[in-house]
Each structure stands twice: as C-alpha cells, then as structure tokens.
Amino acid sequence: MAIMWIVTGGAGFIGSALLWKLNQEGQDDLLVVDRLETSEKWKNLRPARFRDYLEADDFLTRLESGRFGKIKGIVHLGANSSTTETDAAHLVLNNYEYTKRLAQWSLRKKVRFIYASSAATYGDGRFGYKSDDRTTQKLLPLNMYGYSKQMFDLWALRQGVLKQMVGIKFFNIYGPNEYHKGDMRSLVAKAYEQIQRDGCVRLFRSYRPDYKDGEQKRDFLYVKDAVDVVYEFMTTKSYGGLYNVGSGHARTWNDLAAAIFSALEKAPRIDYIEMPEGLRLKYQYHTEADMEWRRKEKKSKPFRSLEEGVRDYVQGYLNAENPYL
C-alpha cells in the first residue's frame, strides 16, 4: 500500500482545509487519520478526495508494525486543541507522546515530518514571538494545551532533530470547516450566530488599564492562507525547524467584529461582557507572529487582509447553503 502523504487530524479544521488544498493541486493519493468519535467533523470529509481513512490508534499500530508501503511524508495536525482542557495526563499522551512516536518513526525511516505546534506556547508574550531556538527554551505557556505542544518542541530541540522536521506555530486561524469545534470555534463563526440571533457581538471586557474593552489584539489568519503555507512546507525540502504561521499583524477584537458586520452589511453593535474569573489570569492580551522567515521568501503569495478573509468566509460559506470547503 503506497501512500504519498499521510494527514493526521485530517477531518479537523485545518486538516480538512489542507485536504481541500491538496485536492486543488491534483493530489488525492492520501491517507486521512483522525478520531471521529461523536463529533460532526466527519462532514468535513464529504467533499474531499483521498485513498483511505484510519482511526488514530489503529493507524499508529499499523505504522509501527510496518504495514505501509512507501510514504512521502506525514503532516501531523491531530491533537486535542482545547485551551481549556484540564486533563494533563490525556494531553501528555495525546499531544506529546503520540507526536513523539510519529517523529521517531519518521526519523528512522527518513520520511518528511511536519507537525502542528501552537502559538499558545508563547504564553503572555513576555519573551516575544520569535520561533528561534533561544526563545523556544524560555517560553512559559499559560495553559496545559500550550505546554503539551511546548513539551514536544523542547524534546525535538534537545534531541537535536528539530531542524530535520517542520513545526508550525499556528496563530488565530479562522474559516470554513471549523463548525464542529464548539466553543473553540473562531469569533467569526460565533459572532455570525450572535448577530443573526441577537443583532450584536459579545466581546470580553479588558481587565488591564493599558487595553480598552475590545482592544485586546490577536494575529488572525484565514485558513486558506494557512494551508497555502503548509503546502509550501510539504513541497519545499529546505524548510526545517519551527515556523510561525500568522498574518504578522496584530488586530483588535473590535476590528474583527467590524469586519464581520461589514461583510453582513450591517451597522456594528458590540456588547462587552465579563470574562470568566478562571480565564482572566490565563488570557493573552496581545499576540503577533514574527514572520521574518516568510518576508525573506519573496515568491510567497501575499495573505488576505482580515477584512478580505472575513468577507470570503461570511459571504462564501457562513451565508451559503453549503458552508464547507
């Protein structure tokens, strides 16, 4: 059984968008790996073309027992990405140990390995947002999800193998196929529902005097641009190490809300609400990807602006009969 590429988390948000991108590039010789369980993410797979599907635990057993033929590479996007998950043992097994086993297999077989780290590793941003080795060793994530990702980054760095693979630190990605994520969906999807139901968007108040309500900042990137970058990593062997994937320009939640209202051709109406106490000490007030590595790649396609991405998402998917890629 010869497979060109394996995509874990392939039924998830970014994973299914990557399948869409690969299909657009004429590639469908793909093995999709995920844990479908009881969620609705199986719907993300319906339009996709791929050779086969395996559940995550079955896949790992088969891979390590040598039941596959030639594999060109693995894009490992599968993880529990809930920033509010408190089961540390589960996150260690699912996000750290599983990734480590895939990486060790890939290194032994000299198969290209691309994996999802996370911008959550940067914590409150006190050490900046560079993805270089020196910064990576200092980082203090604010939640266990971020730390589970940091654990693998540090393992790969200490083993001296990080440059032999590609780790991707996704920032705030939004777009079609995130519908199954519940509270972990982007504000665009949640705000769209709020506006349709109540005519307003609800944003958290600020609890720092240097940030007005709604002026907290994030680095937002449309999922179509994110998977374009992943495709660059898949098709260009010279990449190695950790890379930020964001727009490189922080924008406020107020900016994002305004873009959603504009895409719906409605006047903005924002209500500021109290943030849950348990979240206040773990809340990031500013994130912005250092994208110097990409600015050096002059052939890279420019990203959509926040307003362009939100308009495409709202008008092309959320407002459409078929909201899937």
Report the residue count for the chain: 325
Give the active site residue among 41, 149, 181, 224.
Answer: 181
Give the active site residue among 96, 145, 192, 317.
Answer: 145
Residue with tokens 């179509």: 224
Cα–Cα distance list, 88 to 80, 82, 145, 226 (Å): 11, 12, 8, 28
Neighbours of 55 (CB within 10 A): 12
**What would the DSSP string read from start to end of 176-228?**
TT-GGGGGGS-HHHHHHHHHHHHS-EEEEPP-STTS-TT--EE-EEEHHHHHH
Q: The tokens of 232 are what?
A: 């660059």
Under DSSP, the state recorded for 286 is B
Q: Say whether 181 is catalytic.
A: yes
Residues 6+ apart with CB under 8 A from 157: 133, 136, 137
Under DSSP, the state recorded for 302 is P
Neighbours of 33 (CB within 10 A): 27
**What would the DSSP string read from start to end of 218-254?**
E-EEEHHHHHHHHHHHHH-TT--EEEEES-SS-EEHH
Q: Say whether 145 is catalytic.
A: yes
Burial annotation 273-282 (CB, 10 A radius, 16+ → b, else e): eeeeeeeeee
For CA atoms 64, 68, 70, 76, the dihedral sign is negative
Which residues are annotated as catalytic?
A: 145, 181
